[in-house]
Amino acid sequence: MKDLRSVFQSFVHQADHITVLTGAGMSTESGIPDFRSAGGIWAEDMSRMEAMSRSYFEQYPKRFWPKFKGLFQMKASGNHEPNKGHLYLAELEKQGKSIEIFTQNIDGLHKKAGSRYVYELHGSIQTGTCPKCQTKYDLSHLLKEDVPRCTRINEKGTECGFIVKTDVVLFGDMVHHLDTLFQTIEKTDLLLVIGTSLEVAPVNLVPQEAHYIQGLNKALVNLEPTAYDDLFDLVIHEKIGELVSDMKRKEGT
């Protein structure tokens, strides 16, 4: 493992422009379960996925919200803190590296760690939007009622009243920032993929797209093997927190 870490360190050291793609494994060390590891949100009960879909929300919005709030620990979503992995990426930016982070996570922890260029591919748990009048709502409104409704007063002087939709990308919704992601990896020195099983399209197209880009170093840090390991120049099957701690020990920082 030692020389793999040295290669990782040299990849990062050489790179001026880094594109990072993260998944739920980035936040497990902050106390947020991932989806497909043992004990993960889907691993525990695959039927949960069906309820986290656009069609389920549209058919059963009143059933959707209690399930959604429970599954994603919504009440506690402001209490999680960035871990060593989030802070490491924010630190690289402070050292002057150009870093753009594309995350599948909805927990907001990259921004909370201080990273400035974060694209939330699967949206954010912090906000919601009225499907009828597009009024935006923050976390406090979404938590006020079991089933959050739009309180905008319409032209008739009455409340809109529609059930608000989460801004999290549900199964069946369009993923955000994909064009930007594929354009960004074209002009980057290093693609860092951290804490994702790469099970979900279209994000799992990234390793295949990146494979054909000349001069792009590609590193994967993921606790378990993925179906795309062989498309990377470097694969480290380790917790991101352990990798960062070891590198800091080596650098004496």
Which stretches of the chain bind ligand APR, using CB under 6 A? Answer: 23-25, 28-29, 34-37, 40, 104, 122, 195-197, 199-200, 221-224, 239-241
Enumerate the known binding-site residues: 130, 133, 150, 160
Give ∠ CA 174-177-183 in degrees, rounded to 5.
130
Distance CA 48, CA 67 (A): 8
Task: Please enumerate, as own/partner, the contacts of 225-230 that have beta carbons within 8 Å and a separation of 24 or more.
Answer: 226/196, 226/197, 226/198, 226/199, 227/198, 227/199, 228/198, 228/204
Q: Which is nearer to ligand APR, 150 or 210 (CB)?
A: 210
How near is the Cβ of 237 to ligand APR at its closest, in Å?
8
Dihedrals φ, ψ of 153, to 5°? -85, 120
Q: Which is nearer to ligand APR, 43 or 160 (CB)?
A: 43
How near is the Cβ of 221 to ligand APR at its closest, in Å?
6
Active site residue 177: no
Distance CA 102, CA 115 (A): 11
CA quadruple 230, 249, 33, 224: dihedral, nearest 10: 20
Enumerate the known binding-site residues for Zn(2+): 130, 133, 150, 160
Nearest CA to 187 among 17, 20, 22? 17
Question: Strand locations in 27-180, DSSP E?
Answer: 98-103, 118-120, 127-129, 136-138, 165-166
How near is the Cβ of 88 to ligand APR at its closest, in Å?
12
> Do 57 and 231 touch, CB atoms closer than 8 A?
no
How near is the Cβ of 245 to ligand APR at its closest, in Å?
12
Q: Which is nearer to ligand APR, 29 or 150 (CB)?
A: 29
How near is the Cβ of 163 to ligand APR at its closest, in Å?
21
Distance CA 74, CA 125 (A): 7
Distance CA 129, CA 138 (A): 9
Say whether the peptide bond before residue 207 is cis (omega within 30 degrees of 0). no
Residue 213 DSSP one-character state? S
Q: Per the residue annotation, which of 13, 86, 122, 237 is the catalytic one?
A: 122
Q: Which is nearer to ligand APR, 166 or 196 (CB)?
A: 196
Residue, CB closest to ligand APR: 25
Q: Which is nearer to ligand APR, 104 or 124 (CB)?
A: 104
Q: Which residues are catalytic?
A: 122
